[in-house]
Amino acid sequence: MAWISMLVGLAAKSATTVHMLTGMLAIPLTFCSNVFVKTDTMPGWLQTWADINPISQEATALRALTSGGPVGNSVWWTLAWSVVLTAVFAPPAIQAYRRRV
C-alpha cells in the first residue's frame, strides 16, 4: 500500500488531494474487511470480497500469529498481495520519482 501512496503523492498537485485519494482507497478496504466484524455475518457479495481483501488477509494473519492459533493460508495470501501490489505499483512510482528529481 505504501507504493500506491507514493505514486499518488508524486502524481497529485497538493497534500489535500493525496489525503483524499488515499482515504478513498483505505476506507473501503478497511470497512469491507474482517477487521471490525466476522465475515460470516456479512451479505454474500460482501463476504466474498472480504474473504480475499488484502486487509482481511493481513488482519487474520496478525490475529493468528499473535494469539498462537492456526495461521492457515492467510500469511501466504498477505505475502502474495504484497508481491502483486509491489510489482504493479513500484515501477510507476519509481518512474514518477525519477521524473521529479
Model confidence pLDDT, tens digit, residues 15-29: 999 999 999 999 999
How much is the mean pLDDT over the chain? 93
CA distance 34 to 57: 8
Q: Taking residues 30-57, what's their average pLDDT?
A: 94
Angle formed by the axes of helices 54-67 and 44-52, nearest 10° = 70
**Residues in the chain, how many?**
101
What are the structural domain ranges in the chain?
2-100
Residue at grid coordinates 471490525: 36
